[in-house]
Amino acid sequence: MGITKTEIFTDQQNQVATFAKAFGHPARVAILQHLFKIKACICGDLVDEIGLAQPTISQHLKELKNLGLIKGSIEGTSICYCIHTENWAAMKAVVSEFLNQDLENKSNCC
């Protein structure tokens, strides 16, 4: 498999692709939905909520944190995670602009 040449794409194209990765696995979608539902930080009880093993949950949390959609803070022996509201808003703006292209370019093609 070839190397992805992200430098040949625009910043917006790279951002949309990066954010789309967050929604590329149902576990990450479930984690984000749960964080929004509880409206608070979560400290370790995702295994029962999501139904996956702790190492799997940890990997998905790490991915969401690397994407900047959640943030974590250390509290005692555990890490608590919550939605990174500023980055979430930025992601919504980027993805909305991408998804709303059809509204700007109404054509009679095909």
Q: What are the structural domain ranges in the chain? A: 11-94
DSSP string, 1-35: -PPP-GGGS-HHHHHHHHHHHHTSSHHHHHHHHHH
57-97 pLDDT tens trace? 989 999 999 999 999 887 777 788 999 999 999 999 999 99
Instruction: Provide the whole-model pTM.
Output: 0.81
Residue-level pLDDT at 107: 67
- Chosen CATH of 11-94 out of 1.10.10.10, 2.60.40.10, 3.90.1150.10, 3.10.310.30: 1.10.10.10
Q: How far apart are the first and last CA of the chain?
A: 34
Average pLDDT of span 29-45: 88
